[in-house]
Amino acid sequence: MSTKTETIKIALVGQPNVGKSALINSVGNARLKVGNFSGVTVRKEIVRFNRDGYDFEITDLPGSYSLTDYTIEERVTKKYLDDSEYDLILNVVDSTNIERNLYLTTELLALNKKIVVALNMTDEAVKEGVDIDEVQLGKILGVNCVKTSAVQKTGIDDVIQAIIKTYNLRENRFHLQFSEVFEEEITHIVSFLEEKKIKCKISLKALAIKLLREDKETYLRFHEEPIWTELQPIVNKAYQHLYLHYDTKDLDDIFNDEKSAVAKGAVVETVHFDKEVKQSLTDKIDNLLMHQFIGLPIFLFLMWGLFQLTFEVGSIPMDWIDAFFASLIDGTKSYLGDTELASVISDGAIAGVGAVVLFLPNIVILFLGIALLETTGYMSRVAFLLDGFFHKFGLHGKSFIPLVSGFGCSVPAYMAARTLKNDRDRLLTLFIIGFMSCGARLPIYVLFVGALFTEEQAGNILFLIYISGALIGVLAAKVLKITVFKGDDEPFVMEMPKYRLPSFKLIWHTVSAQAMMYLRKAGTYILLASVLIWFASNYPKQIEMEQEFQVKIEQTQNEETINALTNELALYKLENSYLGIIGHASEPFFAPLGYDWRMAIALETGLAAKEVVVATLGVLYGLGEEHDEESSGLIEKIRANISLPAGISFIVFVMIYLPCLAASMVFMREAGGWKYLGYLFVFTTATAWSLSFVAFNVAQVLT
């Protein structure tokens, strides 16, 4: 047999939390990959495998409660189902909550495609005393219904067989049965279309339904035809009957009523609820976690634990990574010698990428925590608990996780904002994540607070910086909500899913996908940016000056003088490098804030990474490159060179202005374009500038 294997294209559709991903994972073999982010699937993923002589190509569509435009997921799903080529729909249904799930199924049936329904979570349904007659249900819906359990891996083969069988059906009849009144009107229209011998890709019944739904395309098609003059009165009459019967003129209402009725009818006829379960485990857990008074403290404690874990446990491998890159840099240098190539590879590329990879452990732990919150179903509860407070500032309850993640690193925070379904809520959250001071800004604060305040004040000032950053953030949210993202509040209507223990495989998948994405970014954007900054701070070369200094250094014996000369040379080189030129050029812009050109450059290199700010200041204030926030030499230099008002103003600017390049790139991708990065740049820079200006002047008056 050498016939070409046929490919069955399948659209996998289901409501959220029905175990779609788990089912698809258990269908094929271990090799198939589903790049699906639990709860945050915005992109669709394709899975391919071979079974029984057919190639299966499954497109896993995002979870949707119905085929509307409410969320990004639903839009993606609807668009795919309407516009793409596929052979059949595999509709995954949660057997424990079948009526609501069948609502979506009725919408799918109305599409008039071949459908197989997988009644998933059969094991849970049995436990809850829900008994479904799948054969009868299949007859009512006119499709194949198969009981499955992704967890116990049962019914998987039956699904495959049902798919093959359905795929090979030549005829695709329209099975969805509405109420009598409705069917009567449909029959009228269908018989008219039949008399007129209308030819159509879809069945005439589906066409009639489209007419009754006021489907634009269908109307456009008929409007130009002579038949329209005859068709119109028939459709009109049908409307009048329906309006009368349903006591409303809202066609959506009528159709939604019909769909609910179909779902309910099917359940009444085929599902037997064995016993009234007293109180489910979910209810018991919710009594505690959703408690009016202790729910919130419990959540805050869990979050505190997560962040402790992120930074405490995360710091262990961080030391290893740090050491690894340090030795890699030394190794490269000793291997390639003291050449330009060695410098660009080690000081540029490796150092830059290393600084980003350094945060990988934190990111993995944070995402593990977030994935657990999401997949267990706790996240929705958190949104519920916090929505009241957040809504005051125009934010959504779910904004909390990305915002809190922002204190660690803005990169995962931007990615975490995907949990927000609504575009406007998501954008608003993305815009204010930067106000939550990330870990990389801490060294700058430590340096300046240490230099400008007494030791007793330092801790409080540091705390104040973080708190005021967050407060400015929520206030900025309010301002943005009133000005840019205005419009009606997006409704907060969310399902509180059942608590479930996620499978290890799913968690692993989610976390590893996030980690890979982060690493990929380190290997591309960061690599490029590091090399660019290295270039801008090393070129143009000052060969004459270098030689001059070299001579001077060789002439002196004094260690201190050599150090001073080396620093002077470094300063000269940087001041005359492209970066230095830019710094001088931008000095007037920063002058009203009290900064000199050195502080201006530090802020500009900080656009690449906030860690660079301290290193830059170290170089510029003449100390050579080996400086971190703890070097007392730098602290003294800062104290000597920067006034208190200028220092405070600098801190304020650092708190607010654009996050690092890596984060900006992620922001751009999550927000959906360069345009938004432009807005973010203007918004943060303007806010940072004005607030720094105010801080500088107020501090000047007070001191």
The residues binding another protein (CB under 8 A) are 65-66, 68-70, 96-97, 99-100, 103-104, 250, 252-253, 256-257, 259-260, 282, 286, 290, 292-293, 295-296, 380, 383-385, 387-388, 391, 397, 489, 491-497
**Least gap, CB of 283 to another protein (angstroms):** 8
Tell me how far apart the alpha carbons of residues 585 and 597 are, in angstroms, rounded to a whole number: 8
Specify the residue, 130 or 476, whose C-beta has the smaller distance to another protein. 130
Q: Alpha-carbon distance 333 to 346, whole Å?
A: 7
Strand bridging mode 271-273 / 130-132: antiparallel
Q: Which is nearer to another protein, 6 or 253 (CB)?
A: 253
Q: How far is the CB of 244 from another protein (least distance, A)?
A: 17
Q: Minimum CB separation from another protein for residue 100, in Å?
A: 4
Of 384 and 518, which CB lies nearer to another protein in the complex structure?
A: 384
**Shortest separation between residue 151's beta carbon and another protein, angstroms:** 19
Q: Pick the closer one to another protein by CB: 290 or 691.
A: 290
Rounded to a whole number of angstroms, the minimum distance from the CB of residue 602 to another protein is 44
**Comparison of 223 and 291: residue with beta carbon closer to another protein:** 291
Amino acid type, 6:
E
State in angstroms the smallest separation of the CB of 406 from another protein: 23
Alpha helices per DSSP H over 337-454: 340-343, 351-357, 360-376, 378-391, 400-405, 410-416, 423-433, 442-452
Q: Which of 192, 190, 217 is nearest to 206 (CA)?
A: 190
Long-range contacts formed by 72-78: CB under 8 A, 24+ apart: 72/42, 72/421, 72/423, 73/16, 73/41, 73/42, 73/421, 76/42, 76/43, 76/44, 77/13
**Whole-number Å distance between alpha carbons of 99 and 267:** 6
Comparison of 303 and 496: residue with beta carbon closer to another protein = 496
CA 141 from centroid of its chain's CA atoms: 36
Task: For residue 514, report the phi and psi dihedrals to the nearest 5 degrees.
Answer: -65, -45
Cα 105 from Cα 175, distance rounded (Å) = 12
Nearest-angstrom CA–CA distance, 91 and 81: 12
Between 288 and 698, whose beta carbon lies closer to another protein?
288
Adjacent-strand bridge partners of 658: none
Nearer residue to another protein within complex by CB, 492 or 578 = 492
- Answer yes or no: are the C-beta atoms of 430 and 671 closer than 8 Å: yes
Three state DSSP letters for 555-623: HCCCHHHHHHHHHHHHHHHHHHCHHHHHHHHCHHHHHHHCCCHHHHHHHHHCCCCCHHHHHHHHHHCCC
The rounded Cα 205 to chain-centroid distance in angstroms is 41
Distance in Å, CB of 638 to another protein, minimum: 45
Least gap, CB of 15 to another protein (angstroms)? 8
Q: Which is nearer to another protein, 113 or 391 (CB)?
A: 391
Q: How far is the CB of 313 from another protein (least distance, A)?
A: 32
As measured in angstroms, the least distance from the Cβ of 606 to another protein is 39
Instruction: Please check whether residue 352 is in contact with residue 529, taking contact to mean a CB–CB distance below 8 angstroms.
Output: yes
Given the complex with another protein, which of 297 and 592 has the nearer CB atom?
297
Pairing of strands 45-51, 54-60: antiparallel
